[in-house]
Amino acid sequence: MDEVLLSVRDLTIALPAKMDRAHAVEGVSLDLMRGEILCIIGESGSGKSVTASAVMGLLPPTLQVTRGQALFGGRDLLALPESERRALRGRSVSMIFQDPLSALNPLMTVGAQVDEVLWAHGWGDRAKRAAKVQALLAEVGLPDPPLIARQYPFRLSGGQRQRVMIAIALALDPDLLIADEPTTALDVTTQAQILELIRTIQRRKGMSVMFITHDFGVVADIADRVVVMEKGLVVETGAAAAVLTDPQAPYTKRLIAAVPRLRAAGDSGTGTGGALILKVEGLHKTYESRSGFLGRKRVVRAVQDVGFELRRSRTLGVVGESGSGKSTMGRVLMKLIEADGGRILLDGQDILPMDERAFRPLRPRIQMVFQDPFASLNPRQSVGTSLIVGPVAQGMPRAQARAKAAEILRQVGLDPTAYERFPHEFSGGQRQRIGIARALMFEPEVLIADEAVSALDVSIQAQILDLLKRVQREHDLAMIFITHDLRVASQVCDEILVMHQGRVVESGPPARLFHAPVEDYTRRLVAAIPGRGARDAA
């Protein structure tokens, strides 16, 4: 098995001038053996995707390979003329991408897209290709291949689309499959299925896989060997088990330490919290949409009969997959979306029937931190304006608001000079700090964090979680933490609601929920947490 299939030697790719560093990757060397899964792990900007694109010959024109080789079957992929490289792509080397929806042509049936690859490489005649398409769709575990082949991509779920991408990538039995974060956009249960599929097919065909990821849980699940990259450099290489249990490089150590872990079974958390601040009963929200003026009505029950209690200094987690209604619920609680029924008692007062005018004076008491640090700050407003505009609109004198903003910026770990600057001058993690600062300007009693750390790299994520814990302690906050990541929820929450199709299917303290789940759905979710097996064994 120890035959080297792909050998990247001293790969160096220059970045365009005026970027924050000179090279996208510098002196990267790695070997991929025949029949192994090699994970390249790193945070955003580590150069992991650039490395993969270079091997595929798919670098954007702004990036130039300045040095190095990628030897594949004795030939240097980087030195091949484009025509030979194209012949190799798809046939010997294939790639799957993070977003299967944008990687598939929206106006072609998936069957035609699988067929196209076969056709482009002159594989068989029409009838043979048609049979092969069905066989491939069956191989990647899609139900009813004849039916699926006739569907357009938008009809399929995210997981099904990624299966189609894998079918396309496997069409010509490549020796090497490059997978660039193929499960990052998927729900946790779907991710587990796709990882399983890649592993199974890789074993069956004896194929080699280069798997790009940012998640050590995924590495634990799938990798034979792992390459750790930081800022364009390889910092550590080794067998997956060895790197995970005994990392050598300081960066790897930090990265692994930052991965959120499930809480131990006996850990019941701390205290019972303060006064009851938020009580929700029988909350309902239904979306009705009509396609066109006379179209058929579609009804989506986003939130059904949800209820809970929240005390000060406590954190309630709301976990679920996409479409579970968890974000809708958060926005309904904020009255950013009108609810259809139920009661939301904020400090004993039902806010649900209030109109915007009546609720406005109460808004300072319940605030939110949003998911996307790039979209949640107005790009045309300075940070200072974003911070003080709310309090000023609520009647706080400007000078006082400014002083308060300076104080809050310090609390969230930002320099006071941030006040004059604009959002685009900050990184994702810093912007999320600004988002938290904005929510704290009012001294709220309830803070809702809607996927507040989901868009962040794992080391930044750990910093923001620490910050949230600290401000919770300092401000005696009641927090609702909405997330799809069960590991994060288990770390920060005192109590967790598991939502599925708009309903709460199970709730309880994380220690119990994750180690002795009662409901079938919770069990499936917990089983799908990446890297779980490895860590429990460790």
Partner 1 sequence: MSDATLDTLAAPVPWWRSRTMQRFVGNRLAMLGLVLITALTLACFVGPWFLPFDEFYIDLRARFAPPMTGAHIFGTDPLGRDLAARLFHAGQVSLLVGFAAMLMSTVLGTVVGVVAGYRGGWLGAVLMRIVDAFLSFPSIFLLLVLAALVRPSPLMITIIIAVTSWMEVARLVEAETRTLRDQEFVMAARMLGLPAARIMFRELLPNVVGVVIVAATLTVARAILLEAYISYLGYGIQQPLPSWGNMLNSAQQYLADAPWLAVVPGVAITLAVTAFNFIGNGLRDALDVRSDMVGA
Q: Which positions touch partner 1 (CB under 8 A)? A: 18, 20, 45, 49, 53, 58-63, 254, 331, 334, 336, 359-361, 363-364, 367-368, 370-372, 375-381, 386, 389-390, 393-394, 413-414, 421-422, 424-430, 433, 435, 438-439, 442, 459-460, 463, 466
142, amino acid identity: L
Nearer to partner 1, 61 or 122 (CB): 61
Nearest-approach distance from CB 319 to partner 1, in angstroms = 20
Nearer to partner 1, 3 or 82 (CB): 82
Please enumerate in sequence order all residues whose Cβ is within 8 A of that of 331, keeping only pairs 6 or more positions apart, or say none.
Answer: 337, 450
User: Across the strands, what pairs with 503?
Assistant: 500
Nearest-approach distance from CB 250 to partner 1, in angstroms = 11
Nearer to partner 1, 109 or 385 (CB): 385
Nearest-approach distance from CB 495 to partner 1, in angstroms = 24
177, amino acid identity: L
Nearer to partner 1, 42 or 530 (CB): 42
Segment (H or E) for 94: strand 93-96
Nearest-approach distance from CB 63 to partner 1, in angstroms = 8
Nearest-approach distance from CB 335 to partner 1, in angstroms = 9
Nearer to partner 1, 428 or 508 (CB): 428
Please state, in angstroms and rounded to a whole number, the distance separating the CA atoms of residues 392 and 381: 15
The first and second tokens of residue 290, run together, are: 């009509």
Count of CB atoms situated within 10 Å of the CB of 386: 21
CA triple 365-366-370, angle to 5 deg: 145
Nearest-approach distance from CB 210 to partner 1, in angstroms = 16
Q: How many residues does the chain have?
A: 538
CA 82 to chain centre: 34
Nearer to partner 1, 123 or 442 (CB): 442
User: Across the strands, what pairs with 434?
Assistant: none
Q: Which residue has the tokens 């959120």?
A: 260
Nearest-approach distance from CB 412 to partner 1, in angstroms = 8
Nearer to partner 1, 51 or 376 (CB): 376
The first and second tokens of residue 250, run together, are: 């300081």
**Helix, strand, or coil (residue 277):** strand
User: Across the strands, what pairs with 288?
Assistant: 299
Contact 311, 255 (CB under 8 A): no
- Rg, Å, the chain Cα set: 25
